[in-house]
Every structure is written in structure tokens, then in C-alpha cells.
Amino acid sequence: MSTLIKNGRIITAEQDYTGDLYIEGDTITTIGSSLSMQVNTLIDARGKYVIPGGIDVHTHLDMPFGGTVSSDDFETGTRAAAFGGTTTLIDFAIQSKGTRMRNALDLWWKKAEGKACTDYGLHMIITDLPDAQIGDMSDMVREGVSSFKLFMAYPGVLMVDDATIFKAMRKTAENGGLICMHAENGSAIDVIVKKAIADGKKAPIYHGLTRPTTAEAEAVNRAIALAEIAGVPVYIVHLSSFDALQRVSEARDKELLAYAETCPQYLFLSIEDLDRPNFEGAKFVFTPPLREKWHQDKLWEGLKTNNLQVVSTDHCPFCFKEQKEMGKDDFTKIPNGGPGVENRLQLLFEGGVNKKRISLNRWVEITSTTPAKMFGMYPRKGTIAIGSDADIVIWDPNAEYVISAKTHHMRVDYSMFEGFKVKGNAEIVLSRGEVIVEKGKWLGKAGRGQFIKREAFAGAWR
Ligand code: URP
Ligand code: ZN
Ligand code: ZN
């Protein structure tokens, strides 16, 4: 199978030029101008941007959580991602307490088998690390699961103590794994939450009011300090507040290997959304919670200055009906998570590029290139270069689109960004050389997506 993409404006993290791409099978094999090979598929990209497929390093598909299971599985989730121009996800396998990481890896491979429509990788969530099993982390790195998520929140469910965090970090110093940290002080938050419930404060807004930004900043600080002692990098996931960002910025000023991602919800939504009437605030219950609006500008600034390096989605969808409704009388019973895997590129293009907060190159960098570098997939993915996988998006910068649950492809009955108007959308999406989305039509197949065996963290860049 061969494809020629002609006359597109090719944009990578570093470059911006007009040219042609020739793809043989899965791979980009020639980049030039006026290419004229005989091909199976010819795409005229005149007037369009040609970008590397988006990489979302934080999704939760088919995830048991909060007494239910996230509503997108590997088929619906990866397909929705592709419609939005994201061609690789890294999802989270969860080690259940008392079991081995290997069990979780096998289970998550099964969840993806026959379903994944795009390539995907896996992180491992560690919930339990007996000394005799610390070596399992190195087995995971050898299997291409080269990053681990640890939770400083959700006591009794996913939270681990500082000793476990520190032991896991020390191990990554040996095996090159990267620790991804959910940084919130879960113990303090638990006390605040219990008091709120005792006082009858049970509406969704209290999810936000019981999780102060200081609890996030404290945990970020602790995570960075533990990583410094262990001599390893640390990556803070779903960073939501200025206080937390300041801790990362200070660490980076000291040349520490501290990295962080934020998510579109923290850039576009605020704690006011948690206070929507008729229990609609439940649609915005995820952790860390939405913050006061002024934090948004600080996060955009962080993306500009590279104190935030990545935007992921933390896609963890639960339907409003029946799932979010589980917490109708008590916000602590609302499953935590929100949908967004389909809208990341559109939102970042609209709020970032169109609003002139970030350049086109930076848009590609934070949504594709840095995720690939940080998580051991570069240059196979995350760029347009000879030898790279032909994961490519033909992006129409003038396409006008209104985000809505009525038209989105995620298997969830609401959109966090309902009614948002964006200009710029994916028109054609290729995954390893195969056109899987064309002008709103699905052409891919469930099960075609491959597991990506990721390299260990390269570490030599900031
Ligand atoms: O509320 C969220 N973020 N749900 C998914 C689990 C996590 O903490 O990332
Ligand atoms: Zn988390
Ligand atoms: Zn998450």
C-alpha cells in the first residue's frame, strides 16, 4: 500500500514548510516537493496543515473505578480519539492490590485485543509494592511499559504511602522507568471531605471545595523532593492549579528533572461548572477538581514557558445517566472522571493557536512530539520524518465545528465542552499509512491498533 500526500503545509515541533510525503506501507519513506510516484492513494493537502498524529498519554478506557466502569472501551475510545486527530493513546493498566503487575498487563492487553483502532501503549498503576516484587517494575520496562503511575490521593483505593513511592522511584533509577504522579494530599483531603459530608454538604460543588490547591501543591512538592533524593525524573499528571505549577517551575529553575502535563478541562473550565444546577455539576467531577477561573491564564503561561510540557486529556468518561447519578445524594459517590479524548487538538488549536497564546509548532510539540519523547516513542511517533510511522493528520485550519454530545464519537451522553465553537479540525487521519478517518467518515477497523513497546525514559532533555 502506498500513499502520496501533496502540497500540504507540513508542521512539526521544529519545522513549517510546504512539501509532499510519500508513504510505503506503515512508514514515511520520502519527503520532498513535486513528488510524482504511482500510488494507491493520493491526497491533495493544499491549504491544509499536515501534522504528526496526536498522542494522548493519559486515558482510562474500560477502567473499573468508583463502583462502575468508564464508558469508553478500547474500540470506542481509540476511534473517538482518531476522529479528533489523536492516533496514539497511552492508557493505564491497574495492578490490583495483592496481585502482580504482570496480571494487570495481561488483562489490559485483553481489553485492547480485537478492539484498539489506533496504536496504544500502557502505563502501569502500582497499588502495592512488596519488596519481593519490586523487580516486577523492571519486567514491565522490558515489556515496553516504561512508565508507572502512583497515587498520593484516593486513600484506601489507589493511594500508596511515601515509602512505596520512594522505593518505586529508586527502582526507576536502575531501570529507566518514569514515575507519573497523581499529586494531591489524599489524607488531608479525606479529613476535609468527611467533615463536609457530616455537615450535609453533599452537592457536586463540594468536590471542588474540599480539594484545595494547596493540597495539590504540597503533594507536587513532596513528589519532586522524593524524586530529587532518589535521583530520578518525575512527571506530574493532570496538573490543575497555579500553586502546583509554581512548585514545578521552582524545581525546573533548580535544574531538577520535574515535568508536568495539564489537560483541556483545566484550561477551559472552572469551579463554577461544578455548581451548575440540576446536578449537572456532576459532569465536571474529576480529580484534581476544577479551579477558579484565574488559574487558566497561569496554565496557558506555563505551556508557553515550557514549565508545562504536555497536554493530555485524562479521558475517563462516565455517563451522566446512571453513572454520574450514582452520586445524586452524595458527591463522594460520583465516579471521578470526564470525557475529552476527541477534543484535545481542536481545543488547543482554538484556545492556543487561534487565540495566539502558542505557535503552531508549539501546538504540535505539546500534543504529539513531547509526549512521544517523554514516553519512549520518538522518533517512531511524534514527528514527520523519514522512517517515522505514517501517523498523520490533514488538519483543516478553517473548518468550523461546534463540540456537542450529539455529534461526538465518545460513548458518553454529555460533553464537557458542549456548544464550544472551534475553528480547525482533523479532515483526514492516517494511522500507520492507513486512512482511518476521512471527512467525518470512519474507515478504520477495530483491532488494527498495535501495542507500542516503549523505550525507557531518555532523560537527557528538558
Ligand atoms: O478523576 C479522574 N481524574 N479520574 C481518573 C483517575 C485519575 O486520577 O486520573
Ligand atoms: Zn490521577
Ligand atoms: Zn487519570
Q: What is the pLDDT of residues 180-223, one digit of tens each?
A: 999 999 999 999 999 999 999 999 999 999 999 999 999 999 99
Instruction: Tell how far the Cα of 125 is from the centroid of ligand 2, in angstroms.
Output: 10
What is the number of the ligand 1 atom nearest to the C-alpha of 60?
5
User: Do 299 and 267 form a contact (C-beta atoms < 8 A)?
Assistant: yes
- How many whole angstroms separate alpha carbon 8 and alpha carbon 430? 14
Nine cell digits for residue 273: 461548572
pLDDT over 80 at 353, yes or no: yes
Percent of the chain with pLDDT over 90: 99
Q: Is residue 78 part of a domain?
A: yes
Q: Is residue 427 part of a domain?
A: no
Q: Which long-range contacts (CB under 8 A, 24 or more apart) does 164-171 make?
A: 164/126, 164/129, 165/223, 165/226, 166/226, 166/229, 166/230, 167/129, 167/131, 167/134, 168/126, 168/129, 168/134, 168/137, 169/226, 169/227, 169/230, 169/232, 169/234, 170/230, 170/232, 171/134, 171/137, 171/138
For residue 457, name the pLDDT band (cuts at 50, 70, 90).
confident
Average pLDDT over residues 214-234: 98
Asked if residue 182 has its Cβ within 6 Å of ligand 1, the reply is: yes
Closest C-alpha among 384, 345, 371, 276 to residue 83: 345
For residue 119, name the pLDDT band (cuts at 50, 70, 90).
very high
pLDDT for res 44: 98
Identify which of 61, 72, 89, 286 to mutate to test ligand 1's pocket (most ligand atoms within 8 A of the CB).
286
pLDDT over 80 at 398, yes or no: yes
For 131-146, how does the pLDDT look when each residue is reduced to its tens digit (9 = 90+)?
999 999 999 999 999 9
pLDDT for res 459: 64
Q: Is residue 331 part of a domain?
A: yes
Asked if residue 287 has its Cβ within 6 Å of ligand 1, the reply is: yes
Asked if residue 265 has its Cβ within 6 Å of ligand 1, the reply is: no
Q: Is residue 429 part of a domain?
A: no
Average pLDDT over residues 174-185: 97
pLDDT for res 340: 98
Average pLDDT over residues 295-306: 98
Instruction: Tell how far the Cα of 302 is from the centroid of ligand 1, in angstroms.
Output: 22
Q: Is residue 269 part of a domain?
A: yes
Domain holding 306, by residue range, is 53-374
Average pLDDT over residues 154-180: 97
pLDDT over 90 at 461, yes or no: no
Instruction: Tell how far the Cα of 349 is from the centroid of ligand 2, in angstroms.
Output: 25
Average pLDDT over residues 227-248: 98
Nearest CA to ligand 1 atom 7: 287
Q: Domain count of the chain?
A: 1
* Chain position carrying cell 485524562: 314
Angular region, 91: left φ>0, alpha ψ -120 to 50, beta rest? beta
Nearest CA to ligand 1 atom 1: 286
Q: Is residue 12 part of a domain?
A: no
Instruction: Tell how far the Cα of 154 is from the centroid of ligand 2, in angstroms.
Output: 9
Instruction: Return the sign of the alpha-carbon dihedral for residues 288, 290, 295, 300.
Output: positive
**What's 136's domain CATH number?**
3.20.20.140
